[in-house]
A and B are shown apart, each in its own frame.
Chain A
Amino acid sequence: MDEIRCPMCGKPNPVTAEACQHCGAQIKPLGGSFSSPSSEPPLPDWLNEEHAGGQLPENAAGQEGEDSVPDWLTRIRQREQEERSMNELEEDVFQHTDAEETPAWLSDLRGPDELMSEDQGDESQDNWLARLRSSKGITPPEPAPEPDTSAKNTPPESQEASDDDWMEALKAFQAPDEGSWQEDAEEEPIEIPPQEDVQDASFPVQHEENEFSDWLRSLEAQAGFQPPADTPQSGAPAFLGNLEFDGDALHTLDSESGLPEGEIPPWVTAAAGEDDRSAPVEHLKKEEPPDWLAVFAQAEAGDAPVEPTPMGDPPDWVRAFESEKPREEVDGTADELPNWLITGIGAESEAPSPGEDPPKTPGWTMKLGDLSAAGDEVEGSAAQTEPVEESSPDWFAQLPAEAPVPEAEESQVQIPPAAELPSPEKDAREPIGEMDLSLDVLLPDETQPAEMPFAPFQIGEISPPLPENALPFIQQDLPESAVPSSQPEKSVEEDKTDDLAPATLPGWLEAMRPVESLVDSQSQLVDEEQIEISGPLAGLPGVLPSEDLENQYRKPPVYSARLKATERQRAHAVILEGLLRTASTPQTVQKENLEAPRMLIRLGLAAILIFAILYPLLLGAPTNATPGLGSTTELLTFSNQIEALHPGQTVLAAVDYDAGFSGEMRFAAKGVIQRLIQKRLRLVFVSTVMAGPVLAEDLYRRASSELLAAGGLAAAPMPEDKVNLGYLPGGLSSLQELVLKPQQAARSGFALPGEADSPWESMALQGIQHLNDFAAVIVFTDSVDTGRAWIEQTGTQLDNTPLLMVTSAQAGPMLQPYASTGQVDGLLSGLMAGMAYERLAKMPGNAAAYWNAYRYGMYVMVAFLLSGAILRAIVRLLSQRKKLS
C-alpha cells in the first residue's frame, strides 16, 4: 500500500507525508518514539487480515514497498505484532494452562496506561526479570545502582556504561546479524541485566541475535510450552511453540526494520511449526532484522546513542505490563493492541518449545492479532488479571530510551522514556492490569486503518478525553523543547507518589498530538486556566466556555424602525407629498361642449369679422360721421404740441415699429406726418429697428402723396426737407449715444451712395448739434420697451423739446403712466387716436371708413366675448341642474 492512515481522522495519506493532509495530525512521529496509546493507531491491513485468516498479510509494512514504508514504521508494526502475539499468548496461557503455571512475566504484564505511567515500582520489574533469569538459569549481571528518580535528567553519557551492560546482557538474546538469529539464540546464554540497568524503554533496542532466543527459550521452559515436533528448535519460548503463525507474514516483520537476517528468534519460528515457514525465515534471513531487534544490535555496536533511561526506572511500557489496576474502559481497548502483537498471534496458540531454533516467526506474534478481535474478552478479563509484576521481559526492557538515534532513527522503533509517558490519571486512562490488557491496549484501534504506525501504548478508553498534553506517537528524537517538560516530570513524580495521580503526556507524545496544532492557533481564544465548572466537560481546563456564552451574548437591542424627523422636515415632507400628489394625479381636461369643428368655428368667426370690416370699407359709411371719435385730453395735448411747432423747424421722427404694425401705424401716424409736412417742418427720420428706415421712407412717401393728392399741399415737399439717418444699432446704447453725440451716433444716413456723404451736412440738420436742438422728438413705436427706452434715455436730456409719442394700441396702457407724469408730452395710441387726430387736424383720408370698420370689428369682438361668457354661464347652469337632478 502506498497510503498511510492518519491516526486521528483515519483518512489515507501518502506514505511520505509526515502530517495528515486533512486534519493536520502528525503521522510520522517527530521523535521516532512510539505513539501514545491515546492516539490509538489503527490496525494495519495486514494485521486485520491476520485477524480474519490468522495469517500475516503480505502487504504488511515489511513488504509493501520496501522503499516506501519507513523503517521505523516497520519496527512499530513488528513491535505491535509482537505485542499482540504476547497478548494472545497470555490469553492462551491463561486459557490453556494452569493458573499457577502462568509465567510471571505474563502476569506481570500491565495495561497500556501503566506502560506509559511512571509510577511503576522498580521492584516489581526486578522481580519479573529475576524470575525470568532464575527460570532460565541466567546469571543476572551485576546489579546496577539504584534507579534514580531524576534519571531522565541524567545526561545520556553517564548512563552509557550501564546501558552497555544492559545491552550486553540482551545480546545473549539476540540473534546473529547475518543469518538466522534464531539459530544463534541458543548459542549464548541470555544475560538479562537487572532492572536497574534497563534503560528507557525506547527503541531501537539492540541486542545480539543469539541472546534473544535464549531467554525466550527460558520463558518457554517456564511456561511449559513444547514446540511442535516439526518446529525447528529455536530459542523461542515454549509457550510460543503452540502458536501458529504464517510464515509469510514474517516477511512483514520486516525487511526494513533492520532486523538482521535470521534474527527471528528460534522460539518464534518454532512456534510456527511448519516447514514452509522456513521460507519466510529464510526470507527473513536475507532481510534485515526487525527494527526492535536492530535497535539492540546498534546499541551494542555503539553506532547510535541510546536514549538514556532514568537510572533504576524501568521503562513505562515495561511498567505497563505490571498492571495493578483493571482497565476501566472496555471499548476499543482490544483495538489498542499493537500490530506486532496482533499479527503474531494466530488462531491457534502454539508455543514453541524452548531451545528450539526459531526458524520462523513465532506464531504468537501473529496470534497477537486475535487479541484485537477478542478484545472484549481480554478486557473483561483484564479486570481480573493480576497486575503485571514489575519484571518485564528483557527484550522489552532493552528497548532503547527516548534519546535520539540518528542512524537508526528510521529503522528502529523507539519506546518513549518512561518519564514522558502520560500518567494514567491525567489521561483518564486506566492502567493496564495484566499483560493481556497491556497487549490489548498496545494493539491498535481496529477502527483505524491498519497502516497506522505502531502505537504500542494505548491507555484507557477508546475515545478518552484528549488531555492537553496528549501526543500521538512521535519518534525518539523529538526535541524536548517541543514537549512540555513540566507535565512529564510532574507525571513521573505523581506516578511515583500516587497511583491515582493523573497521567501526564510525555513530550514526544504531546508533540505528536495533532490537535495541539489546532488548539495552539486558537489558544488565544481559550483561556487555558479556565476550568469548566458545569456541563459534560466539567473539570477540564481549556475548554471553550459553553454556558458563559449565554451570558456573554445577550439579545441585541431593538432599534425603532420609525424615522426620526423634525417638525420642519415633516412639514417639508407634507409639502412635497402634496406636490407629488398633484403632479401624479392627471388633471381632468374639461370636455369641450362645442360639437362643431374648431376650424369651422374659426372660419365662421373670421367671416363675421371680415364682413364687419369689409362692409364699411366697400359700401362706405353713410356719412363721414365718426361717432365716438371724440377728442380726449391726450389728443388735445398732442395736437397742441404739434401746432406749436413752427415751419422750418427740424423735428426728429423716430420710426421704431416693425413691419407687422405698419398697417396700424399707417392709420395712427399718417395724420401726424401729414400735419408735419403740411406745416413745412423738416423731418429727420431715425430708427433703432432694422425695418425702420424703409418704413419711414414708405410712411413719408404715402403721407406726402396722399396729402398732395388731397390738395393739402400746394407743392410737393422738398427732398432736403427730409433726412433719413438710417438705422442705429444697439438699442439703448445707440439712444444714449444719440443723446450725447448725435453726429457720432448717426454717421451715415440712409441714402444712396451718390448722395451726400454725411447727412449732417444737409439743410435739415443744419445747426443741430444736440438732441435739444430739435423742435420736437416724435417717436412712432409699437412696443412698450422701445417707448420706455426713448423716455428713459432721452427724456431727461430734453429740456424744452417735447417728446411726443405715437404708439400702437397695445403699448398705450403701459406708456400711459409716463404721459400722466409729464415725461411724455403727448401720446397717441392706436387707430382710434390716429383717426381722431386726423379728424382733428383735418387731414385728408378715409378716416370714416376705416373708423367704421374698426368700430364694427371691435363690436364683433365684444360680441364674441359676451357670447363666450353667456355660453359658459348657460353650460354651468345646465351642469348644475344635472347635478341637482
Chain B
Amino acid sequence: MRIRSPLVPAVTIAVGFVVLLGYFFPSLLVQNLRALLIDWGVSLAGVAALVGILNLVVVHWHKANDKENRSLYSLLLLAAFLITFGVGLWLSPADPGFQHVIIAIQVPVETSLMAVLAITLAYASLRLLQRRKGTMGTVFVVSALFFLLFLSGFLPVVRQIPLVGGVADFLHRLPVAGARGILLGIAAGSLMTGLRIFLGADRPYNG
C-alpha cells in the first residue's frame, strides 16, 4: 500500500481553514493573512490556466507530428496559436490592433455558433413532446410556451386584463420557487464539497 504524503492535505486544510476563518472573525491579523493567502491563490490560478493552455498546445503538437494520423486541423490550430501568441506578445493585449483578433475572429465565430443554436433549438422544439413524455415533459413544454410568449411581449398586454393579469404575473414569478430550491441545493452541495475537502475525504489535487 502506497503511503500518501500528508503534506499536501495539511497545506490544503490549513490554508482553507485560515481563509474560511476570515469570513467569521474580523480580526486584522486573520484578515491580512487571509488576503495574503488569497493573493497567492489568485496567482496560482493564473499559472494553472497557463498550464492548461500549454497542455492544449502539447496535445495538438503530438497530433500534428503523428506520422500515421497527422491532423491538418492540429497544424492549423498550432499555426493560429503561434501567430496570435507572437503578435500578442509583441503588441500586448491592450493594443487595438491586437484586439481585432478577438473582435474579428473570436466574436463572429462564437456569436455565429450561438445563432446556429437558435435554429437548432427551433428544430428541436418540433419534436419536444415526442421525446419528453410524462408530466415533467408536458409541464416543461407548457412552461416554455408561456415564457416564450412573455418574452415576446405578451405579458404587458396580459397584465392589463384584471384577473388574467394577476395570474399571469403570478405565473411569471412562479419559476422563482423552483429556482430558489435549485439554488439552495447548489449551495448545500457546495458546502458539502468544501467540507469534504477540509476533512480530507476528497483529494482532487492528487493527480
Contacts and interface: CB of A to CB of B under 8 A. Distances in A.
Q: Do chains A and B touch in the complex (CB under 8 A)?
A: yes
Interface of A: 590, 598, 601-602, 605-606, 609, 626-630, 632, 658-664, 691, 693-695, 697-698, 724, 728-731, 733-734, 736-737, 740-741, 744-745, 750-753, 788, 809, 813-814, 816-817, 820, 830, 832, 851, 854-855, 857-862, 864-869, 871-872
A609 B115 CA distance: 11
A745 B42 contact: yes
Contacts of B179: 813-814, 816-817
B111 A832 contact: no
B111 A660 contact: yes
Given A658-B110, A737-B39, A820-B176, A694 B99 contact: yes
A246 to B, nearest CB: 93
Contact of B45 (A661, A730, A817): A730
Contacts of B42: 728-730, 733-734, 737, 745
A849 B128 CA distance: 30
Given A752-B95, A865-B144, A628 B35 contact: no
Prevailing SS type, chain B contact patch: helix
A610 to B, nearest CB: 8
B183 A788 contact: yes
The 5 closest A-B pairs by CB, nearest first: A628-B153, A630-B156, A660-B110, A730-B45, A858-B152
Prevailing SS type, chain A contact patch: helix
A872 B31 CA distance: 61
A745 B126 CA distance: 49
Contact of A750 (B93, B115, B122, B125): B93
B38 interface: yes
A605 B119 contact: yes
A872 to B, nearest CB: 5
A574 B103 CA distance: 60
A662 B122 contact: no
Nearest to B130: A872
Nearest to A819: B176
A401 to B, nearest CB: 82
B148 interface: yes
B199 interface: no
Nearest to B110: A660
Interface string B10-38: 00000000000000000000010011001
B103 A601 contact: no
Contacts of B39: 737, 741, 744-745
B56 interface: no
B49, B123, B127, B154, most chain A CB atoms within 10 A: B123
Given A630-B156, A663-B114, A737-B38, A860 B95 contact: no
A684 B65 CA distance: 45
B125 A865 contact: yes
Contacts of B94: 693, 724, 750-752
A501 to B, nearest CB: 81
A133 to B, nearest CB: 103
B119 A698 contact: no
Contact of B148 (A632, A817, A858): A858
Contact of A629 (B95, B110, B153): B153
Contact of A606 (B106, B109, B113, B119): B119
Contacts of B188: none
B111, B130, B151, most chain A CB atoms within 10 A: B151
Interface string B135-168: 0000001001101110111111101000000000
Nearest to B100: A694
B111 A662 contact: yes
B183 A814 contact: yes
A744 B152 contact: no
B35 A740 contact: yes
Contact of B122 (A698, A737, A752, A860): A860
B183 A752 contact: no
A866 B183 contact: no
Interface in B41-98: 41-43, 45-46, 49, 92-95
Contacts of B125: 861, 864-865, 868
B interface bracket (residues with beta carbon within 8 Å of A): 35 or more
B145 A862 contact: yes
A555 to B, nearest CB: 51
Nearest to A602: B123
Given A694-B102, A697-B99, A816-B175, A859 B152 contact: yes
A813, A864, A865, most chain B CB atoms within 10 A: A865
Contact of B155 (A628, A857, A864): A628
A605, A753, A867, most chain B CB atoms within 10 A: A605
A861 B124 CA distance: 10
Nearest to B186: A788
Contacts of A606: 119, 122
B195 interface: no
B30 to A, nearest CB: 11
Contacts of A601: 123, 126
Contacts of A728: 42
A869 B127 CA distance: 8
Contact of A817 (B46, B144, B176): B176
Contact of B31 (A658, A740, A865, A871): A740
23 contacts: A602-B120, A602-B123, A609-B122, A632-B156, A659-B109, A660-B113, A661-B114, A663-B115, A694-B102, A695-B102, A695-B107, A730-B45, A733-B41, A814-B179, A817-B179, A830-B151, A832-B151, A857-B118, A858-B148, A858-B149, A864-B126, A868-B125, A868-B129
Nearest to B154: A628
Contact of A813 (B31, B38, B156, B175): B175
B114 to A, nearest CB: 5
A868 B102 contact: no
B192 interface: no
Nearest to A741: B35
Contacts of A694: 93, 99, 102-103
A504 B113 CA distance: 115
B152 A733 contact: no
B49, B114, B173, most chain A CB atoms within 10 A: B114
A862 B119 contact: no
A215 to B, nearest CB: 100
Contacts of B122: 605-606, 609, 860-861, 864
Contacts of B126: 601, 605, 864-865, 867-868, 871
A865 B123 CA distance: 9
B180 interface: yes
A879 to B, nearest CB: 12
Nearest to B108: A659
A750 B31 CA distance: 28
B145 to A, nearest CB: 6
B50 to A, nearest CB: 9
Given A609-B119, A861-B148, A868-B125, A628 B176 contact: no
A726 B70 CA distance: 38
Contacts of A751: 94
A630 B31 CA distance: 47
A866 B46 contact: no
A659, A662, A736, most chain B CB atoms within 10 A: A659
Contact of A862 (B31, B113, B148, B175): B148
A628 B38 contact: no
A693 B102 CA distance: 11
B171 interface: no
Nearest to A749: B94
B176 to A, nearest CB: 5
B8 interface: no
